[in-house]
Amino acid sequence: MSAATLTPPGTAAPARAGVPWTRLVGVELRKQVDTRAGRWLLALVVLVDVALVALYLWAADEAPGWSALTEASSAGQLLLLPLIGVLAATSEWSQRTALTTFALEPRRTRVHGAKAAAGIVLALGITVATLAVAAVATLVGGALHDGAGSWSLDGALLGGLALALVLLVLQGLGFGLALLSTPAAIVAYLALPTVWSLVSALVPALRDPADWLDMSGPLTGLMSGSLTGDGWAQLGTSTLLWVGVPLAVGLWRTARRDVA
């Protein structure tokens, strides 16, 4: 043992420096794209985007613009992208790597924050990829219809798309942390909002509250860049229910769960 490692009697040992935040986010980002499920899910998102753009080009009577194609190609992400958050939250427990992860970084909330940050980075990357696909499709549409489509891009559309994808990833992360099981979290994420929409449509007394507790309507307006003042308020209340509550439950549960 070297003299540098000796601690004088009566003094506390120096605290070990934690894992740097950027490294922690990088590791979590790599986990989300390194697994077979993550790669296939991202590939499916790209394939759905391309298929929707091709369908839009085939059905268009004239050369579509960049904004229209961006909106069309983003529709499939509304359903698929939150599954990235689910996989990020449940991978530690389903693959039994939680012991290693929390031994290297015992502060579990910090690990979950890194997962959320990595998911946000991935969502923004998907947004950039969507813009690229739409740009190529704009060129193809101009060639097919013998005319150039508009290259103007609505800032509200772009910002709304990015924010919607971030909220969806956080929603998937919340369901994953709350249930800690990939199949259960996916089923709950897909089923619960659908059941709520059906019940509110069948029960007249629930139709007015449903406008404030259903994310699908405000998210559609957000992704199209057409959200109004009331829409923003409805988005806030529904996000609190479908994103905030699962995240709070998940953080509380994982903070108290034994790691085996």
pLDDT at 4: 46
Rg for the chain, CA atoms, rounded = 22
pLDDT at 260: 60
pLDDT tens for residues 128-151?
Answer: 888 888 888 888 888 777 777 778
Top pLDDT among 5 and 191 is at: 191
pLDDT at 17: 58
Top pLDDT among 166 and 256 is at: 166
To the nearest 10 degrees (0 to 180), the angle between helices 36-59 and 82-94 is 170
pLDDT tens for residues 156-167?
Answer: 878 888 888 889
CA distance 110 to 176: 16
pLDDT at 224: 75
Residue tagged 């390194």 (tokens):
34
Structure tokens at 199: 């019940």
- In this structure, are residues 173 and 114 in contact, taking their beta carbons and an 8 Å threshold? no
Q: Which of 158, 137, 173 is nearest to 247 (CA)?
A: 173
pLDDT tens for residues 196-231?
Answer: 888 888 888 888 888 888 888 888 888 777 788 888
- In this structure, are residues 158 and 130 in contact, taking their beta carbons and an 8 Å threshold? no
Taking residue 107's Cβ as centre, other Cβ atoms within 10 Å add up to 12
DSSP of 42-84: HHHHHHHHHHHHHHHHHH-SSPPPHHHHHHHHTTTHHHHTHHH
pLDDT at 175: 93
pLDDT at 213: 86
| Amino acid, single-letter form, for residue 190 | L
Query: What's the pTM value of the predicted model, to 2 decimals?
Result: 0.81
pLDDT at 18: 66
Tell whether the model's pLDDT for residue 94 goes beyond 80. no
pLDDT tens for residues 37-85?
Answer: 778 888 888 888 888 888 888 887 787 888 888 888 777 777 788 888 8
CA distance 247 to 171: 8
- Mean pLDDT for the chain overall: 81
Classify the C-alpha dihedral 75-79-80-82 as positive or negative: positive
CA dist list (Å): 76 to 32, 49, 93, 164: 19, 6, 28, 13
